[in-house]
Amino acid sequence: MKLVPLILSGGSGSRLWPLSRELFPKQFISLFSNQSLFQDTLRRCQSIQTVSVEDPVVICNEEHRFLVAEQFREAGITPGGILLEPIGRNTAPAVAAVSHFIKKKYRRSTDDICLLVLPADHVISEVSEFVKAVEQAINLALDEHLVTFGIVPDQPHTGFGYIKKGLANHDNNGFEVLQFVEKPNLKLAEQYVGSGEYLWNSGMFLFKATTYLEALQQFEPLMVDYCLDAVNQGKEDMNFYRLHPDAFKSCPSNSIDYAVMEHAVEFQVKPSVIPLDAGWNDVGSWGALWEVLKHDQHGNAVKGSVVTEDTTDSLLFCDQGILAVNQRAKLTRVLG
């Protein structure tokens, strides 16, 4: 079998503004190291050694195409394809388009090709745990399961959806999925975490391309047809593949969760979840960025050239010049 990493890079840059912007969203920013979140995602896929991992395929906003190509070049990684969306249609059509593209690229049955679907902007600090979870998920995917990864919660968070676990799968660390739950209020979140039966919904998946398209055909047949037209009528443009704009714009917009996974629970299409405890964070807010960055002895999380005096428990980010801060004097200056 072949494992194709599918990187979803359609972010609009609305979160972490003004650091993240529409034309330069957070996945392309170096927040924690010399590499961007996008490049970290690419390198995590290279850590999977037990199966044949193909070159990663990316689907992104066409306005980000040169950013994506340059970040591949900087990372020294060859793309398996860079698909350009003329308009955002959420994750379900994005994965459907790539599934059709993969079938066209290999010019044969894709029954032995699994897609590892990963958002481009997540942080995972324990890569070995991530790899272990992927390896566990592959066996389920080859058995026609639609697999998602559920984050083991460390607090009652109200900003994530939840997944309720069912029975454990045979000879595997995965579980049947009983229910997908919307973002809860604090009281419900406390109950979910206290029960030990729930995981955070990470938005990461692993399944065979054929399994996904068959499920989508059952629940959203128009989406399958429009995405097929978008690929078949699309065209190569240098190192990119442009989806046909009219066909893709006609496609319904929906997420994988709503279009496929929630229906799969109802119709018993074998959805499964693998628990993942790997230092995951979707860095969806300045507060989340604060949690991920290391803190100094004064509780400050600092990135870049920053000088502090009488400053505690602050998030300080400087991407040019020098930032000088004195919290007690209420003084902030950018030098240079």
Residue 184 and residue 311 in one domain: no
Residue 212 and residue 331 in one domain: no
Alpha carbon distance, N-terminus to C-terminus of the chain: 54
pLDDT tens for residues 71-118? 999 999 999 999 999 999 999 999 999 999 998 887 766 678 999 999
DSSP symbol at 55: P
pLDDT tens for residues 266-284? 887 889 999 999 999 887 6
**Contact of 166 with 174, CB cutoff 8 Å:** no
Residue 299 and residue 273 in one domain: no
Residue 168 has pLDDT above 60, yes or no: yes
In three state form, how does the secondary structure of 206-270 look? Answer: EEEHHHHHHHHHHHCHHHHHHHHHHHHCCEEECCEEECCHHHHHHCCCCCHHHHHHHHHHHHCCC
Residue 190 has pLDDT above 80, yes or no: yes
Residue 201 and residue 67 in one domain: yes
Q: How far is CA 313 from CA 42, 114, 290, 306, 308, in A?
A: 32, 44, 10, 14, 11
Residue 79 and residue 160 in one domain: yes
Q: Hey, what amino acid is at 19?
A: L
**What is the reported pLDDT for 132?**
95
Distance of CA 243 to the CA centre of its chain: 21
Residue 333 has pLDDT above 70, yes or no: no
Return all residues near 44 (Cβ < 8 A) that are at least 6 apart: 118, 124, 127, 130, 131
Omega within 30 of 0 (cis) for the link into 18 = yes
DSSP symbol at 183: P
Residue 179 has pLDDT above 60, yes or no: yes
Listed residues 249, 269, 287: the one ending a domain: 287
Residue 88 and residue 185 in one domain: yes
Q: Which of 245, 273, 258 is nearest to 167 (CA)?
A: 273
Residue 162 and residue 222 in one domain: yes
Tokens 């194709």 belong to: 4
Residue 193 and residue 313 in one domain: no
**Cβ-defined contacts of 77-81 (< 8 Å, 24+):** 77/42, 77/43, 77/46, 79/55, 79/239, 80/4, 80/54, 80/55, 80/56, 80/105, 81/55, 81/57, 81/105, 81/241
Tally of domains in the chain? 2
Residue 336 has pLDDT above 60, yes or no: no
Residue 251 has pLDDT above 80, yes or no: yes
Q: Does residue 50 sit in helix, strand or coil? A: coil
Residue 237 and residue 180 in one domain: yes
Residue 107 and residue 192 in one domain: yes
Residue 324 and residue 276 in one domain: no
CATH number, domain of 88, equals: 3.90.550.10
**What is the reported pLDDT for 84?**
98
Average pLDDT over residues 258-273: 89
Residue range(s) defining the domain that contains residue 97: 2-287
Average pLDDT over residues 228-251: 96
**Cβ-defined contacts of 27-35 (< 8 Å, 24+):** 27/119, 27/120, 27/121, 28/64, 28/67, 28/71, 31/283, 31/289, 31/292, 31/293, 31/303, 32/123, 32/292, 32/293, 32/303, 35/75
Residue 280 and residue 298 in one domain: no
Report the 10 Å Cβ neighbour count for 58. Answer: 28
**Contact of 334 with 321, CB cutoff 8 Å:** yes
Listed residues 253, 268, 287: the one ending a domain: 287
